[in-house]
């Protein structure tokens, strides 16, 4: 059993992070497995070494010690580039020169997302955005040095994945949900539309990087917040396209404040360092977290 905790060093850890780390840590420990720490520092414009050091300090103080060497996304660009090239060779990626504003204007994208779609900031992009402007305009923008985002042609990608597995039902994953929603889940990646796989500014997108990372780290059980469950639909497709192993998944509840709002860095949620500096002990901090899942009850 190999689990992982993968924080981004863009701010201080809060109680929600510690809860997520403890879920992964305790499951691995219960199975005499390994709890791996990965630093998701793909966005080098926002990540800071001081936050990485703070992550180490907070986890050690909480007694959540990881196994082996810490891995960093910033050291894996070669692996991401290889996967992007593979998808290009399969004719599943296309360049998109449109800005977000242009896309919203051309497609009259609605505010928010349709039912069942992933909870992301941007509206779901329709298919074949490269056909929204003439080839001559695309060539002009390329000649002017404008960078393109590379999008997955979703309809072709799903067809390709289904053609290389015996039945459509095999595009699925095992979910150890802490509710009646557990079991074998059917992937419906079309809810993402033609999602960006290679970003203009950072190279790989989060979605591509995370499936490559989990393969490189030999992760067998991905534990993460329920807010990321919808991403698994896309991750399962990418795993099928790239020939990657599919780990099992457990999406746990989020830690929320007194108003039932999830904790977040952007809301300046109270940091672990602040709690520690006020004299709170690690045991007291753990006692105010939600009760950990009954792992045996969900078959882990």
CATH number for the domain spanning 268: value is 3.40.50.620
Q: Note whether 4 and 46 are within 8 A (CB).
A: no
How many angstroms separate the CA atoms of 78 and 28, rounded? 29
Q: Note whether 197 and 151 are within 8 A (CB).
A: yes
pTM of the model: 0.87
Give the C-alpha distances (Å, rounded to integers) separating 45 from 4, 29, 84.
24, 35, 21
Which residue segment(s) compose the domain that 199 sits in?
Answer: 2-298
Q: How many domains does the chain have?
A: 1
For residue 71, give the nearest of 43, 38, 106 by alpha carbon: 38
Residues 6+ apart with CB under 8 A from 63: 282
- Per-residue pLDDT tens, the chain, 300 aa: give them: 999 999 999 999 999 999 999 999 999 999 999 999 999 999 888 899 999 999 999 999 999 999 999 999 999 999 999 999 999 999 999 999 888 788 777 766 443 343 344 444 444 566 788 888 888 888 898 888 888 899 999 999 999 998 877 554 579 999 987 665 788 999 999 999 999 999 876 689 999 999 999 999 999 999 999 999 999 999 999 999 999 999 999 999 888 776 667 776 666 567 899 899 889 999 999 998 888 767 666 677
């Amino acid at each position: 059993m190999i689990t992982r905790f993968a924080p981004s060093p863009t701010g201080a850890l809060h109680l929600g992070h510690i809860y997520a780390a403890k879920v992964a840590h305790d499951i691995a420990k219960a199975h005499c497995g390994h709890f791996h720490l990965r630093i998701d520092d793909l966005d080098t414009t926002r990540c800071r070494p001081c936050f990485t050091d703070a992550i180490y300090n907070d986890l050690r103080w909480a007694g959540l010690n990881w196994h082996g060497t810490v891995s960093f996304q910033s050291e894996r660009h070669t692996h991401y580039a290889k996967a992007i090239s593979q998808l290009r060779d399969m004719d599943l990626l296309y360049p998109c020169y449109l800005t977000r504003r242009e896309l919203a204007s051309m497609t009259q994208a609605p505010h928010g997302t349709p039912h069942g779609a992933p909870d992301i900031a941007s509206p779901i992009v329709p298919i074949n955005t490269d056909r929204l402007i003439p080839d001559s305009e695309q060539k002009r923008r390329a000649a002017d040095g404008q960078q393109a985002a590379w999008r997955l042609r979703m309809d072709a990608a799903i067809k390709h994945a289904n053609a290389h597995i015996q039945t459509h039902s095999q595009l699925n994953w095992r979910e150890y949900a802490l509710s009646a929603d557990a079991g074998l889940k059917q992937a419906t990646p079309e809810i993402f539309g033609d999602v960006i796989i290679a970003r203009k500014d950072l190279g790989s997108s989060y979605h591509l990087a995370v499936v490559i990372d989990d393969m490189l780290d030999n992760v067998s059980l991905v534990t993460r917040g329920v807010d990321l469950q919808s991403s698994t639909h896309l991750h399962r497709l990418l795993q099928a396209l790239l020939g990657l192993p599919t780990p099992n998944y457990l999406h746990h509840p989020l830690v929320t404040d007194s108003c039932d709002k999830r904790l977040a860095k952007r809301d300046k949620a109270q940091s672990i360092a602040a709690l520690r500096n006020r004299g709170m002990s690690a045991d007291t901090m753990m006692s105010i977290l939600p009760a950990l899942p009954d792992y045996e009850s969900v078959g882990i």
